[in-house]
């Protein structure tokens, strides 16, 4: 009936809607680096207000938000404490070492969440032998651990411990609005404890380009310097920033649909004997499951899915990952479940 690929490989694959495109077409623009792009200015003010920070800066990617935050918070040779499955440790092209000259202390934690004691244990002694511990990094929702949500109490405990030890704290909120919708908390409540935080517009929010980094005025002034140095300072970026504004105004509440679709997919998969899935990890729009018992490699599994009009992704081992988003309907989810049924002959 339809030839559309049901693309669950990521929530980055969304197409801007006709309405979003129309809104982008009409955007007023100017030279961003002179502070003269009205649409970017409006977006940055909107984000600062949304996250409860003094200022924000629009950047081309989430990776650049994280790396610029690291650059501002640290000096070369310093160390960042983060969960062992963190995005910057695995999926940011080695920028932590290549661009920021930092070392990383990876801590364990169930489904991407760690406790304040992990921070205490990771802190380096004040001795020339060691790197200087400088920053704690938290990912909310946690991507590789399956879109899991940091409980606010847990965040407060970790940040309190970090502050006590003299460490700054940064939150990667690429999917923070997913966490907010699922946990019924405001972005402000989640961002309050942090020195800096970022959100992405090009994930579940469905905009084509960009993320924003927020913090104090002084922090953002420094960030503007590094935006230029990292080559991320654009000019008439209002064209794309308009897509982000449109997304913030129209695509936040509907994230609940993505979460419902992820649960529906997980429920469909969890009954299959050749699939292992941790149902407690199904909290937002990401479904991670293990296909080891099928005897198939993820690449082969995905080839079979594609033959049936569905695509997922995998990062390592026998783990598959499916992400729901605004271009996926509930009936698409049922098609995906049937495709998996068919492949595994369940």
By the criterion CB under 6 A, which residues form the site for ligand PLP? 61-63, 66, 87, 139, 143, 172, 174, 200, 202, 211
Least distance in angstroms from the C-beta of 83 to ligand PLP: 11
Q: Between 99 and 275, name the residue whose CB sits nearer to ligand PLP.
A: 99
Sign of the alpha-carbon dihedral angle for 88, 89, 91, 92: positive
Least distance in angstroms from the C-beta of 217 to ligand PLP: 24
Closest by CA position to 247, among listed 33, 113, 47: 47
Q: Between 275 and 326, name the residue whose CB sits nearer to ligand PLP.
A: 326
162 with 171: CB under 8 angstroms? no
- DSSP bridge pairs for 106: 82
Least distance in angstroms from the C-beta of 175 to ligand PLP: 6
CA gap 107, 155 in Å, rounded = 15
Mapping DSSP to helix (H, G, I), strand (E, B) and coil, where does residue 58 land? Answer: strand
Q: Between 66 and 284, name the residue whose CB sits nearer to ligand PLP.
A: 66
Least distance in angstroms from the C-beta of 321 to ligand PLP: 11
Least distance in angstroms from the C-beta of 92 to ligand PLP: 7
Task: Give Cα 232 to chain centroid, integer Å.
Answer: 19
Element (H, E) at 221: helix 217-229
Q: Is 222 exposed, middle or buried (0-12, 13-18, 19+ CB in 10 A)?
A: middle
Q: Between 65 and 343, name the residue whose CB sits nearer to ligand PLP.
A: 65
DSSP string, 76-108: TTEEEEEETT-HHHHSSTTHHHHTT--EEEEE-
Least distance in angstroms from the C-beta of 235 to ligand PLP: 20
Select the residue whose beta carbon is closest to ligand PLP and give its number. 62
Q: Between 61 and 250, name the residue whose CB sits nearer to ligand PLP.
A: 61
Q: Between 232 and 268, name the residue whose CB sits nearer to ligand PLP.
A: 232
Dihedrals φ, ψ of 80, to 5°? -110, 140
């Amino acid at each position: 009936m339809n030839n559309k690929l049901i693309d669950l490989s990521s929530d980055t694959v969304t197409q801007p809607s006709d309405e979003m495109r129309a809104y982008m077409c009409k955007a007023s623009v100017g030279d961003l680096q002179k502070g003269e792009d009205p649409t970017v200015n409006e977006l940055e003010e909107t984000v600062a207000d949304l996250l409860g920070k003094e200022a924000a800066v629009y950047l081309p990617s989430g990776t650049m938000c994280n790396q610029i935050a690291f650059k501002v918070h640290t000096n070369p040779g310093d160390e960042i404490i983060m969960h062992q499955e963190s995005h910057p440790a695995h999926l940011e092209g080695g920028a932590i070492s290549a661009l920021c000259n930092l070392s990383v202390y990876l801590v364990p934690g169930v489904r991407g969440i760690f406790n304040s004691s992990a921070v205490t244990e990771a802190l380096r002694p004040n001795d020339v032998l060691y790197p200087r511990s400088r920053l704690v990094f938290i990912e909310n929702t946690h991507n590789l651990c399956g879109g899991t949500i940091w409980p606010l109490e847990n965040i407060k405990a970790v940040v309190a411990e970090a502050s006590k030890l003299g460490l700054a704290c940064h939150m990667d909120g690429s999917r923070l609005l997913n966490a907010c919708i699922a946990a019924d908390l405001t972005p402000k409540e989640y961002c309050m404890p942090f020195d800096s935080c970022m959100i992405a517009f090009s994930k579940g929010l469905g905009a084509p380009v960009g993320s924003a980094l927020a913090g104090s005025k002084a922090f953002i002034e420094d960030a503007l310097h590094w935006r230029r140095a990292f080559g991320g300072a654009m000019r008439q970026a209002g064209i794309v920033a308009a897509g982000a504004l449109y997304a913030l105004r129209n695509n936040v509440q509907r994230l609940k649909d993505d979460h419902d679709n992820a649960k529906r997919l997980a429920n469909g998969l969890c009954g299959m004997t050749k699939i292992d899935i941790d149902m407690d990890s199904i909290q937002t729009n990401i479904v991670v499951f293990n296909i080891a018992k099928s005897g198939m490699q993820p690449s082969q599994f995905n080839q079979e899915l594609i033959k049936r009009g569905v695509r997922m992704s995998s990062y390592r081992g026998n783990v598959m990952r499916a992400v729901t988003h605004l271009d996926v309907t509930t009936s698409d989810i049922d098609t995906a479940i049937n495709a998996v049924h068919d492949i595994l002959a369940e």
